């Protein structure tokens, strides 16, 4: 890590904004499980768009963006790789990408062979790809990917139109407001990051990024305003790109550790989560290993893991060949037990 600074990029913001809008209700269902609060201004923006948008454009956004959730990560990587700065630049660039090239980028984001020895490639049989995505994500996304791949040219033309219409009719209204807000927030974020980079990334990313910080990788960190609680990263031998929502910084200000201890005991009331902690207490586990051990889908396992990572008692870390494994955070575990004990004893 050499003089890394957190930056805001309006093209990334635009992709995050339309992705947030495409699944706003589902995002609410996910986030309400945690002690995080949505920004009221952004909520109002989403409501205003709902009141103004045509049902046809809304339907297209929900299908073409929300229906293939992995697509946002493919688009985000395109922005970073090509050093695109503005939504207009991205929309223009994206029009030059073919439907097949785009859906192939989406496929690559699933990282099919990262956790499994089965060699599923973009050229594999459609049914094999369907089953792999169904296991990795869910059946709806697998169905959508199959259709998008089959009709990639038509899909891409409609998506080009959706991005341009959404930008011109809606995002452009908020662009300058976001720019002004993030100018100050980026300064504050960089102060926190520079004060303690390792803790900063552990808190917002719920993982251990010490190897990234100590290594020679080219580290780029971007913060978005409207995605709020998203966190994504791409890492290989030479680079690490991190994109997170500004709302994740609320995790620095969790009001009451007592509330956290209550959440902790709720999490432990599930036998599978308790067993996950037992297993991680002995060694690190790859996520796919855990899913197979409990005979659960990746989505169900992610649900349990997210409960534990949000509490800080489990961390994720990049391993060999960019595989992600989970490990226990003994210090946080002890801290939560100590807080709970003091609460019970009235100390």
Q: Which of residues 268 and 106 earns the better pLDDT score?
A: 106
| Residues whose CB falls within 8 Å of the CB of residue 232, separated by 6 or more in sequence, listed in order | 73, 76, 242, 243, 244
pLDDT in tens, 218-247: 889 999 999 998 888 888 777 889 999 998
Q: What span, in angstroms and rounded, lies between the C-alpha atoms of 312 and 272? A: 17
Q: What span, in angstroms and rounded, lies between the C-alpha atoms of 139 and 192? A: 40
pLDDT at 3: 64
Q: What span, in angstroms and rounded, lies between the C-alpha atoms of 61 and 100? A: 19
pLDDT at 139: 93
Domains of the chain: 6-250 (no CATH), 254-345 (1.10.10.10)
pLDDT at 320: 57
Vertex 123, ends 121 and 126: CA angle to 5°?
A: 95
Q: What is the mean pLDDT of the chain?
A: 88
pLDDT at 255: 44
Q: What is the mean pLDDT of residues 152-173?
A: 98
Q: What is the mean pLDDT of residues 90-111?
A: 96
Give the three-class secondary structure for 274.
Answer: helix
Sign of CA dihedral 263, 264, 268, 269: negative
Closest C-alpha among 148, 174, 166, 153 to residue 69: 148
pLDDT at 112: 80
Q: Is the pLDDT of residue 259 over 70?
A: no
Q: Is the pLDDT of residue 165 over 80?
A: yes
Closest C-alpha among 233, 229, 177, 204 to residue 24: 229
Q: Is the pLDDT of residue 49 over 60?
A: yes
pLDDT at 322: 59
Sign of CA dihedral 248, 249, 255, 257: positive
pLDDT at 253: 63
**Beta-carbon neighbour count of residue 110 at 10 Å?**
19
């Amino acid at each position: 890590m050499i003089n890394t600074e957190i930056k805001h990029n309006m093209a990334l913001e635009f992709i995050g904004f339309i992705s947030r809008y495409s699944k706003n209700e589902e995002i609410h269902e996910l986030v309400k499980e945690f002690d995080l609060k949505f920004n009221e201004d952004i909520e109002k923006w989403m409501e205003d768009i709902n009141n103004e948008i045509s049902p046809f454009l809304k339907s297209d956004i929900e299908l073409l963006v929300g229906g293939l959730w992995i697509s946002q990560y493919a688009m985000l990587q395109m922005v970073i790789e090509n050093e695109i700065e503005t939504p207009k630049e991205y929309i223009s660039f994206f029009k030059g990408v073919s439907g097949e090239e785009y859906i192939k980028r989406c496929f690559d984001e699933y990282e099919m062979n990262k956790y499994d020895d089965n060699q599923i490639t973009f050229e594999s049989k459609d049914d094999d790809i369907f089953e792999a995505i169904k296991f990795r994500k869910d059946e709806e996304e697998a169905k959508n990917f199959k259709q998008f791949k089959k009709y990639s040219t038509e899909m891409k033309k409609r998506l080009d139109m959706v991005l341009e219409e959404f930008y011109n009719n809606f995002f452009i209204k908020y662009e300058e407001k976001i720019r002004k807000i993030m100018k100050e927030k980026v300064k504050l974020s960089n102060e926190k990051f520079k004060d303690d980079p390792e803790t900063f990334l552990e808190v917002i990313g719920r993982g251990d990024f010490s190897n990234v910080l100590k290594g020679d990788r080219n580290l780029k960190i971007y913060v978005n305003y409207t995605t709020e609680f998203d966190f994504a990263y791409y890492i290989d031998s030479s680079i690490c790109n991190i994109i997170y929502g500004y709302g994740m910084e609320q995790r620095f200000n969790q009001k009451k550790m007592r509330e956290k201890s209550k959440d902790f005991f709720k999490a432990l009331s599930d036998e599978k989560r308790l067993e996950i902690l037992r297993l991680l207490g002995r060694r690190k586990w790859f996520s796919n290993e855990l899913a197979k051990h409990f005979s659960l889908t990746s989505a169900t396992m992610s649900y349990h893991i997210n409960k534990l990572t949000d509490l800080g008692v489990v961390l994720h870390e990049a391993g060999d060949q960019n595989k992600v494994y989970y490990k226990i955070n003994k210090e946080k575990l002890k801290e939560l037990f100590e807080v709970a004990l003091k609460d019970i004893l009235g100390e």
